[in-house]
Amino acid sequence: MLKQAVFQSKLLPYLLVLPQLAVVLVFFYWPAGQAVIQSFLMQDAFGLSTVFVWFDNYRELLADPDYFAAILRTFAFSFAIALSSLSLALLLAVMADRPLRGSTFYRTLLIWPYAVAPPVVGVLWIFMLNPSLGVIAHGLRALGIDWNPLLDGHQAALLIILAAAWKQISYNFLFFLAGLQAIPASVIEAAAIDGARPMRRFWTIIFPLLSPTIFFLIVVNVVYAFFETFGIIDTMTRGGPAKATETLVYKVYSDGLLGGNLGSSAAQSVILMGIVIALTAFQFRFVERKVNY
């Protein structure tokens, strides 16, 4: 149950939320509104000639098979990134939750990658996996694998998923660890006394009790995969080879900023916003019902 705060004056609560509202208005609603307006216009890069074209930008997008390919690709990426980083983080968190000597040290190490900016992550992985310079790439070649993400779209996609998932593991780990530590030890001990083995204890007790954390992280991870992977893609593959790593957010950037087609870019932003709002709403409506709080 939420606590009810009782205010003496009518005005005070509004005053208290005003700063937050102002921030949201200026940094979210205003630009989002601008994007909506822009998506109905056709402009040259300099904004010298503006034509109001109603839904032309949207129509062109929806008639473009490339755009649908980008949507599918983005979902595939999100799924792969969320699944791999969540499962690995959960495994690590369960391991780190034990009373180990030096556990603080391990935890700190595991959390570290979260502090690395996405473009830097991209550069780091490129150093390891660049076909001509990379340490790992040399190893792969020695094993007889033809490693060439510059030309092989599947390998490039794998590269992005690896780097993006690696960065997100830390964040997920933190939340899982906190979630695990919130589970009362007595419940687990009782199960242990009743003879439940560790695996069974995990699936019947720990996992269900972690479900709110898992649900929250799924939302966060999907949004992360949709937006935050931009820096990684830009430094690693720039959407190539042959669009194999062009996600929706990268397409918005390349059409708008590199191509100067602001109308189409804005229309894509609006659709992207719609997709994410729908996703989040869907998750909160349907997934949340299955969550035990």
**What residues make contact with other proteins under the rule CB under 8 A?**
28, 30-32, 34-35, 38, 42-49, 132-133, 148, 150-153, 223, 227-228, 238-243, 249, 252-262, 265-266, 269, 273, 276, 280
Which three-class secondary structure string do you get for 45-86?
Answer: CCCCCEEECCCHHHHHHHCCHHHHHHHHHHHHHHHHHHHHHH
- Comparing CB distances to other proteins, the nearer of 76 and 276 is 276
Q: Which is nearer to other proteins, 22 or 258 (CB)?
A: 258
CB of 232 to other proteins, least distance (A): 15
**In angstroms, rounded to a whole number, what is the distance separating the alpha carbons of residues 178 and 176?**
5
CA nearest neighbour of 192 among 183, 209, 205: 205
Phi and psi at residue 10, to the nearest 5°: -75, -30
By beta-carbon proximity to other proteins, the closer residue of 106 and 215 is 215
d(CA 84, CA 88): 6
CB 97 → other proteins: shortest distance, Å? Answer: 30
Residue 145 backbone zone (phi > 0: left; psi -120 to 50: alpha; other: beta): beta
Specify the DSSP class assigned to residue 3: P
Nearest CA to 163 among 193, 131, 119?
119
Give the containing element (helix H, strand E) for 136: helix 135-142
Shortest reach from residue 238's CB to other proteins, in Å: 7
- Distance of closest approach, residue 227 Cβ to other proteins, in angstroms: 5
Nearest to other proteins of 92, 270 (CB atom): 270
**CB closer to other proteins out of 138 and 201:** 138
Task: Tell me the closest approach of the beta carbon of residue 103 to other proteins, in angstroms.
Answer: 33
Is the dihedral angle over the CA atoms 151, 155, 158, 163 positive or is it negative?
Answer: negative
The least CB distance from residue 134 to other proteins, in Å, is 12
Nearer to other proteins, 26 or 109 (CB): 26
Question: By C-alpha distance, which of 25, 247, 94 is closest to 157?
Answer: 247
